[in-house]
Amino acid sequence: MLAIATFDIGTTAVKAVLVDETGTVLASASQDIPTLFQNGRKEQDPNVWWEAFRDLSQVLFTHYDTRDIAGIVMSGQMQDVIPVDESLAPLGNAILYADGRGAEEAKKLNALLGPEKIAAITGNAMDGTLSLPKILWLREHEPDIFTQAKCFLISSKDYVNARLTGICASDV
């Protein structure tokens, strides 16, 4: 019988569920993850996401033949910034979506392009919690991390997917 494994790398926990083709839950588990709060910043260690994913995978697949897995579905928090190097190792903690340290950079973008043009292009108002202002913040305040980054992943699931596949990618 075919099954689908689902993983959600959320703000407070990584959750996993294995369901068969009828939707029956075959196994489920979760693992809490800590958020680091310091000086108004909100961060998480991407290695903790990866370790939780590995641990939960073992829980799901202990009593199930992995050859019968039809797919893996990933979801996770978004608007993060996770700079990774050539080997896809994180260059520091993930800057979470609720971290507004890019506020000054967002103001500069609004002044440069105009809020209306930004909203027309992105469908969003530009503020310091979005990924681009946080990447620009890194360029200004953490230039070593910025220049060492092979890519900037923008979701916790993107980091786990990169570790699984070796590809930096995201969805729209």
Tens-digit pLDDT profile for the chain (172 aa)? 799 999 999 999 999 999 999 999 999 999 999 999 998 899 999 999 999 999 999 999 887 888 889 999 999 999 999 999 999 999 999 999 999 999 999 999 999 999 999 999 989 899 999 999 999 999 999 999 999 999 999 999 999 999 999 999 998 7
Can you give the pLDDT at residue 66? 86
Of 23, 153, 18, 8, residue with least CA distance to 95:
153
Cα 135 from Cα 171, distance rounded (Å): 18
Tell me what pLDDT residue 30 has.
Answer: 97
Cα 36 → chain centroid: 15
Q: What's this model's pTM, rounded to 2 decimal places?
A: 0.92
Contact 20, 26 (CB under 8 A): yes
pLDDT of residue 40: 87
pLDDT of residue 115: 95
Contacts of 92 (CB under 8 A, 6+ apart): 83, 142, 145
